[in-house]
Amino acid sequence: MRILLLGYFDLSPCLKSCLLYLSVFPEGYAIKKERLVMRWIAEGFIPEEHGHTLYESGERCFNELINRNLIQPGEMNKFGEVESCRVHGIILDFLVSMSNQDNFVTFIGVPGVIPEPQNKVRRLSLQGDNEIPADLILCNARSLSVFGGCVKMPSLSKFRHLRILDMEGSGEVEDQHLAEIGGLFHLKYLRLKSKVGKLPQQIAELQYLESLEICESNATTEIPSAINQLTRLVRLVVNDETILPDEIGGIKALQVLRGINVNTQSTNFVRQVCLLSNLRELSISFINYYAGDNWKENEEEMVSSICRLGRANLHVLHITINEGADEIFEESWSPAPLSLRELVVEVGVVSSVPRWIGSLVNLQKLAVPMWEVGEEDVVILGSLPDLRHLSLTALAAGSKEGRLRVTQSHGFPSLINFQIGGEECALGLVFEAGSMPKLQNLELEFDAEETSSVTNGGFDFGIKHLSCLTSTTVRSTYDDPIRPTLEAAMERCINDHPNRPTLIWMK
């Protein structure tokens, strides 16, 4: 504990507040990085830095806490970036104790922690099914966090100075609970997991609101047209069941729009998306089983909107498709969205890399699911001058009759991280001399028996030709009788490499 105290008091004021804030979350809770950073920003913990957005500065604080082993990394995305964290039980006990002692957070429902009577609450964390004691002073509370579906919701009229209202943990929030939300004039961050059928028109009165999130729920939630009066709203995250207003183009400050099911929205809404000139991140889905009469028109209009935004500030695009909608991605996108830096396609499978992707000269991160990776796909991807992270989920890459050979002429001048394959993949990939000259991290996933067939039992992928390689991760079946042969072959490949890269086995 003494070492923990020394480490805590050695932190900068910013990091100290950010760490202490983690005590809000229950033990064992998986805390999403984005949720945490947005809450830090709303609290005012993150100072402005020249040349960086507040979110980028918040991410640096998050990574610093991981580097100091004060929080544990959780889920990783396709590009090896940490997406969530957890707090070790011992550290959480320390943080809860410090928060309680300093009146940084008031806890209801945490075993062994009893709030002081007549305490002026600054931040309130409701856990379990306990009710708020009547003698707590709530009028100056800056944040209210609700965890646990059985919590009895307090009246929002008691929280006039809230900056953060996070009710993801409460499934009991219904329309009547939000009737007084218009009185929360200082609110910056609102997160709901609810049975709310429609957000009230009074949401237009939240003129400081920067982030609105509607989490997964079993009910359809309708967002009113009044949302376009929120001049500071920069982040809007919804789910497949959310219906958005036609006038979405009026939210001029919006930078992040995520979770949109294109086929449940009106065509007018889809047309308005292109008016969001400050949009930097867009996440959408084309799910046919939700499709209405206008689904085809919506898909065409959305591609048109993306292409227009891709000539402005759109940097990140995530698309979820099912197999019936993969032609959307494969068709010609014109003009190509040249501003894209990250493109992720999920769930569906495409037959080949579309030619228009070859014109995305600013693209740094790409993830695409494919049936089979072929020579033409490698040519298109290798021509991207700034591509650094590439993830190709595939059922095959090359065959026994013709291995897929990656050569120096294919390019890949900037590629650092490369993931390829899948649990059923027959991986016939071969790296030749001079290929992928800057590659540091390689991840291969394949079916051992199928891959043994296409590699004639040798499992030789030409790894020794990757001159900058530092790490190789192999994902393959563990109960396969070919396993000993595979392990011996991979060990030989690593030993033959002049860098002796790290070999990591994953299930």
Q: pLDDT value at position 194?
A: 63
Last residue in a domain, options 195, 211, 227? 211
CA dist 246 and 224 (Å) reads 9
In this structure, the answer to whether residues 425 and 473 fall within a common structural domain is yes
In a domain, 66, yes or no: yes
Residues 6+ apart with CB under 8 A from 303: 328, 331, 333
Residues 77 and 121 in one domain: no
> Given a cut of 60, is residue 289 above it in pLDDT?
no
The CA distance from 324 to 50, in Å, is: 46
| Alpha-carbon span 147 to 162, nearest angstrom | 17
Measured in whole angstroms, the distance separating CA 274 from the mean position of its chain's CA atoms is 23
Is 3 a residue whose pLDDT tops 90?
no
Q: In the listed set 92, 123, 145, which residue is the last one of a domain according to the structure? A: 92
Query: Which pLDDT value is given to residue 334?
Result: 85
Asked if residue 466 has pLDDT above 70, the reply is yes
What tokens were used for 55? 């979110």
* Inside any domain, residue 124: yes
| 67-84 burial: b if 16+ Cβ within 10 Å, else e | eeebbeeeeeebbeebeb
What's at 433, amino acid-wise? Answer: A
The Cα–Cα gap between 217 and 328 comes to 28
Same domain, residue pair 407 and 507:
yes
422 and 384, same domain (yes or no): yes
Residue 381 included in any domain: yes
DSSP string, 404-431: EEE-GGG--SS--EEEEE-TT-EE-EEE
**Percentage of the residues of the chain whose pLDDT score is greater than 90:** 64
Residue 168 CB neighbour total at 10 angstroms: 19
Claim to verify: residue 20 and residue 88 sit in the same structural domain: yes
Give the separation between CA 404 and CA 426, rounded to whole angstroms. Answer: 11
Consecutive H or E run containing 57? helix 54-67
Are residues 86 and 140 both part of a single domain?
Answer: no
Q: Are residues 66 and 21 in the same domain?
A: yes
Instruction: Give yes or no for residue 48 having a pLDDT over 60.
Output: yes
Residue 9 confidence (pLDDT): 84
Residues 85 and 123 in one domain: no
- Helices then strands, counting H and E runs in the chain, come out as 11, 25
Estimate to the nearest angstrom the gap between the alpha carbon of 31 and the chain centroid: 12
**Residues spanned by the domain of 46:** 2-92
Q: Is 17 a domain residue?
A: yes
Q: What is the largest CA-CA distance in the chain?
A: 78
Q: Judge if 68 and 145 occupy the same domain.
A: no
How many structural domains compose the chain? 3
Burial of 449 (0-12, 13-18, 19+ CB in 10 A): middle
Beta bridge partners, 52, equal: 49
What's the token pair of residue 85? 């964290």
pLDDT in tens, 380-427: 999 999 999 999 999 898 766 678 999 999 999 999 999 999 999 999
The CATH number for 23's domain is 1.10.10
pLDDT digits (tens, 9 = 90+) for 268-278: 999 999 999 99
Q: Is residue 247 part of a domain?
A: no
pLDDT cut 70: percent of the chain above it: 93
- Taking Cα atoms as reference points, which of 350, 391, 375, 349 lies closest to residue 430? 375
| 62 and 189 co-located in one domain | no
- Tokens of residue 126, six digits: 């409701």
Q: Across-strand partners of 243? A: 222
Burial of 28 (0-12, 13-18, 19+ CB in 10 A): exposed
d(CA 211, CA 234): 6
Q: What is the mean pLDDT of residues 58-77?
A: 96
Alpha-carbon distance 441 to 349, whole Å?
A: 25
Residue 267 forms part of a structural domain: no
Contact status, residue 377 vs residue 355, Cβ threshold 8 Å: no
Average pLDDT over every residue of 451-476: 93
* First-last CA distance in the chain: 36
Residues 121 and 88 in one domain: no
CA-based nearest residue to 448, from 507, 361, 501: 507
Residue keyed to tokens 């610093």: 64
Question: Is 338 in contact with 362 (CB distance < 8 Å)?
Answer: yes
Residue 329: the pLDDT is: 76
Residue listed under structure tokens 């991981």:
66
Q: Are 390 and 416 in contact (CB under 8 A)?
A: no
The answer on pLDDT for 10 being more than 70 is yes
One domain for residues 118 and 66: no
Q: What 8-state DSSP symbol labels residue 415?
A: -
Each residue's pLDDT tens digit, 325-358: 667 777 778 889 999 999 999 877 888 899 999 9
pTM for this prediction: 0.92
Inter-axis angle of helices 2-9 and 13-21, nearest 10: 130
Does 347 reside within a domain? no
Asked if residues 502 and 471 have their Cβ atoms less than 8 Å apart, the reply is: yes
Position 255 in a domain: no
